[in-house]
């Protein structure tokens, strides 16, 4: 099974179950309405016993909201927690079988991995995102998300760090 997911100018290809979570019917029609400002990660994927929560930031795209590193970390942490909160009721209450299925598979996994996919423009002093200290951001994500994934990862198209999908 091949699953292709488009997020802006990036195309993700999975050879296992994956959905564009923040566009899922359950999230949009039900969970999103619970509280003003609730957000979710871009992609939820399940490969065997591993569940992936993938957030994508493409700062090469002019419409991507510019965030300072501490705000970016806060946004990611909130999206991860909100997504996890949505998965259990999605397993039981989703109307679309694909959504119900992936939520069920997610809940049976033995490991959750949080992945932040960042694409940055060439370095410029006037654009903070092009000069992010990725190691510092990753260390802070790992510290904050330790109970969920002590090894949260930051990747890019050029360096997927052995993850089991491709990006073009």
- Reported as a single tens digit per residue, the pLDDT across 90-112 is 999 999 999 999 999 999 999 99
In DSSP notation, 100-156 reads HHHHHHHHT-SEEEEEEEEE-PSPBTTBGGGG--HHHHHHHHHHHTTTT-TT-EEEB
Q: Which of 118, 104, 127 is nearest to 51 (CA)?
A: 104
pLDDT digit string, tens, across residues 44-102: 999 999 999 999 998 887 777 777 889 999 999 999 999 999 999 999 999 999 999 99
Whether the pLDDT of residue 19 is over 90: the answer is yes
Backbone angles phi, psi at 8, to 5 degrees: 60, -125
More confident residue, 140 or 120: 140
Residue 141 to residue 115: CA distance in whole angstroms: 10
pLDDT-derived band at 123 (thresholds 50, 70, 90) equals low
| pLDDT above 60 (res 128) | no
- 4-9 average pLDDT score: 94
The reported pTM is: 0.93
- Residue 131: per-residue pLDDT: 60
Q: How many residues does the chain have?
A: 168
**pLDDT of 20 higher than 70:** yes
Answer whether 82's CB lies under 8 Å from 137's CB. no
């Amino acid at each position: 099974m091949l699953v292709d997911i488009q997020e802006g100018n990036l195309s993700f290809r999975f050879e296992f179950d994956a959905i564009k979570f923040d566009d899922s019917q359950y999230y949009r029609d039900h969970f999103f309405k619970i509280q003003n400002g609730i957000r979710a990660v871009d992609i939820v994927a399940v490969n065997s016993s591993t569940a992936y929560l993938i957030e994508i930031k493409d700062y090469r795209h002019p419409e991507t909201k510019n965030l300072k590193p501490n705000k970016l970390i806060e946004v990611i942490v909130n999206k991860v927690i909100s997504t996890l909160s949505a998965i259990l009721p999605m397993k039981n209450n989703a109307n679309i079988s694909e959504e119900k299925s992936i939520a069920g598979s997610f809940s049976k996994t033995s490991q959750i991995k949080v992945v932040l996919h960042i694409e940055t423009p060439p370095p410029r002093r006037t654009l903070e995102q092009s000069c992010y200290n990725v190691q510092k951001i990753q260390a802070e994500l790992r510290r904050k998300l330790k109970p969920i994934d002590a090894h949260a990862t930051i990747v890019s198209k050029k360096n997927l760090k052995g993850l089991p999908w491709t990006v073009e």
